[in-house]
Structure 1
Amino acid sequence: MVIPLPTHRRVIRRTDDFTPGTHKTKLVSEPLPTTLSPTSVLVKVHAVALNYRDANIANGGNPWPVVPNGILGNDAAGEVIAVGDKVSTLAIGDRAAPITDTENISNREPSRSWLAADEDGVMADYLVFDERVLCKLPRYLSWEEAAIVPCAGVTAWSALKGMQIAQTVLIQGTGGVSVFALKLARAAGLRIILTSSSDAKLQQMKDQLGSPPISTVNYAKTPDWDQEVLRLTNGVGVDIVVENGGTSSLVKSLMCTRRGGVVSQVGYLAKQDPSDLRELIPTIIDRSVTLRGINAGSKYDMEDFCAALEATQTPLGDLIDRVFTFEQAEEAVDYVWQGKQIGKIVLRV
């Protein structure tokens, strides 16, 4: 029996109305292609995970160009339900998701294209992508768990590249990438220092991670938090920083990284002010620190990460803060924009 393919899909597009208090998203119906190109794949989406960048884009804060009224989202998990006649890497029934930067296959490509920014994202019940940008997802995960892998998971994986057992990592905040990095760092045998402006969030993460206990710093109560991090590391500094504040925290992150260490810049959550970077160059030179920008990761990175997850059967449910319905996308985006989450917010489609 041949099951007819869908002719339309539901998508969440931005309204591009940045007035406070107005709706930032709209649910619309759109036609799907009647036929697939030879290398295209049709994916039925089961879950979509939100990132801070979704809320930031919806509220007009993205520093890079975005398509007008674009589709939000770059974290999703779905099932392949149809393939073009030249597709060779995926089959009907496979679990799959697109990579965040659809130009970044090997980390050597000169161009980039970000989902939900300069091309439409994944907040829809059906997606069509070329097989070259799709990766298989681990089969042991629930749909909600699988949906947090492509962006937040791969970003954390890439940010911790080069880590070694017994090294120390400084992780900033309790958002999606941060809690993913916490889990990976603990699994890899790293000593963890976590910062947040909320004692309640810090305590929750300490309770969740258990023994051995992590070290925590409330940066709101400790303005010179970099000095506290140095104190916690006996003046040496951390080996790796998962940095997501941006200009307001970057120099301090460099100053509490050991000489020859690595700072992985994964975000820009705080208000950005170039004047905060006056000491950037002398600090990098003085401490011989490597500052690397992390844009999620390449397709190869995602494949490596999924292989590691499959091999270890690592559960990810504890990283999900709350699950909304697809129709509650507006509420979910606002929840992330207000910073209420500890971990990931997911839409069940």
Structure 2
Amino acid sequence: MTTATIITRRAFRRTDDYTPGTPKLKYVEEALPPLGLTSVLIKIHAISLNYRDANIANGGNPWPVLPNGILCNDAAGEVVATGEKVKNLAVGDKVAPIIDTKYITGRELGRSWLAADEDGVMADHVIFDEEVVVKLPDYLDFVSAATIPCAGVTAWSALKGMSIGQTVLIQGTGGVSVFALKLARAAGLQVILTSSSDHKLEKMKEKYPNPPLLTVNYSKIPDWHEEVLRLTDGVGVDIVVENGGTPSLVQSMKCTRRGGIISQVGYLGKQNPQDLAELVPIIIDRRIILRGINAGSKYDTEDFCAALSATKVRLDDLIDSTFPFQKAEEAVEYIWQGKQVGKLVLCL
């Protein structure tokens, strides 16, 4: 056992004021909860933001959230103190909490998401039971490692079951999308990337030139699924990493091969059930497997970290920009406006 000498922390809590133009975060200095017998105190070094964070801060989350909670569920830090009954972690370990603290093996029925049901990780110190903490790959710096728990594990889960030579359609250039692109290329998959911005698509093609990246601007091609079919000689893609939700799901189905998979990872578009009028006949006709991806379990996170450690895949090229911790408000707004191509990380 090591005794924590740190009894307070700096954190950003939500204001829960959803009026446009008003601050979404409030800086606080508060007492840390006590260190439990099986808990660890983690000094946070980097916090990775996701669209989910900006959406929660602006009142758009479709699930209930803890009032004035601490934002963010993606972070990397080091253990600086342990409870006397901690068995598997030690001071100095590079770690992160999993994002759903009720989802360990994948068989659990409940859920408890950081930054929603419970406080998140936008703080300089956090305390978690060792059961919900994973070791991160040693070869990564804290900034890169901070992208793993949410965006990385979501991309890993979304691509599960794919094999070399298959084709994946990835929507957008946000955190999960660029992570999925990175993993897909490493796994030998052909990638078709969509965006509404030619600038973002060109930027991605410059970053990943070999083999050439196939792209589709869906704002210029309303029937973009037809373009995807053309790029795949009419067959369709083997898998879609779908993050639009109702506005794009039916079109995603139309350009998925028969028997293919759609991994629904998000809901970035304006959700309208009327957009799903063709869903049932298309999903039956094309025999599509539609699966919801809610990141992954602790076991999934550990499997992903093991794969990263074995392959030493670089993740620094996924980083769009870094902000100092004190500029958390600006970082959330940056994400909310969709300026990023990749991941945005707060550094402490």
Counterpart secondary structure, 2:69: coil
Counting aligned pairs with the same residue, the percent is 70
Counterpart secondary structure, 1:195: strand
Question: Could you say if the C-alpha distance between residues 62 and 4 of structure 1 is closer, same or farther in structure 2, counting changes exceeding 3 Å?
Answer: closer
Alignment of 1:8-87 (within 5 A): 8-33=8-33, 35-87=34-86
CA–CA distance in structure 2, aligned partners of residues 127 and 283 of structure 1: 46
Letter in 2 for 1:12: F
String of CA shifts for 1:33-79, please: whole Å, max 9, x gaps: 3x421111110000000000000000000010001101000000000
State the match for 2:139 in structure 1.
140
Letter in 2 for 1:29: E
Q: List alignment gaps of at least 5 residues for structure 1.
A: none
Letter in 2 for 1:316: L
CA–CA distance in structure 2, aligned partners of residues 173 and 149 of structure 1: 19
CA–CA distance in structure 2, aligned partners of residues 100 and 32 of structure 1: 20
How far 1:298 sits from its partner (Å)?
Answer: 0.7
State the match for 2:113 in structure 1.
114
State the match for 2:164 in structure 1.
165
State the match for 1:97 in structure 2.
96
Question: Could you say if the C-alpha distance between residues 253 and 153 of structure 1 is closer, same or farther in structure 2, counting changes exceeding 3 Å?
Answer: same
Question: Could you say if the C-alpha distance between residues 156 and 110 of structure 1 is closer, same or farther in structure 2, counting changes exceeding 3 Å?
Answer: same
CA–CA distance in structure 1, aligned partners of residues 279 and 108 of structure 2: 28
Higher mean C-alpha displacement, 87-96 vs 157-166 = 87-96
CA–CA distance in structure 1, aligned partners of residues 88 and 161 of structure 2: 29
CA–CA distance in structure 1, aligned partners of residues 259 and 103 of structure 2: 27
Question: Could you say if the C-alpha distance between residues 290 and 4 of structure 1 is closer, same or farther in structure 2, counting changes exceeding 3 Å?
Answer: closer
Question: Could you say if the C-alpha distance between residues 313 and 232 of structure 1 is closer, same or farther in structure 2, counting changes exceeding 3 Å?
Answer: same
Counterpart secondary structure, 1:328: helix
Superposed CA RMSD in Å reads 1.0
TM, length-normalised to structure 1: 0.98
CA–CA distance in structure 2, aligned partners of residues 9 and 90 of structure 1: 22
How far 1:3 sits from its partner (Å)?
Answer: 8.1
How far 1:89 sits from its partner (Å)?
Answer: 1.4
Counterpart secondary structure, 1:11: strand
How far 1:158 sits from its partner (Å)?
Answer: 0.3
CA–CA distance in structure 2, aligned partners of residues 253 and 3 of structure 1: 53
CA–CA distance in structure 2, aligned partners of residues 168 and 78 of structure 1: 35
State the match for 1:213 in structure 2.
212
Large movers: runs of 4+ above 6 Å: none
How far 1:323 sits from its partner (Å)?
Answer: 0.3
CA–CA distance in structure 2, aligned partners of residues 346 and 200 of structure 1: 22
How far 1:264 sits from its partner (Å)?
Answer: 0.3
Counterpart secondary structure, 1:250: helix
String of CA shifts for 1:289-308, please: whole Å, max 9, x gaps: 11011111111110001001
Alignment of 1:234-273 (within 5 A): 234-273=233-272
Q: Is the 8 A contact 2:37 2:84 kept in 1?
A: yes
CA–CA distance in structure 2, aligned partners of residues 5 and 79 of structure 1: 15
State the match for 2:341 in structure 1.
342
Counterpart secondary structure, 1:121: coil
How far 1:96 sits from its partner (Å)?
Answer: 0.7
TM, length-normalised to structure 2: 0.98
Alignment of 1:260-299 (within 5 A): 260-299=259-298
Q: Is the 8 A contact 2:3 2:82 kept in 1?
A: no
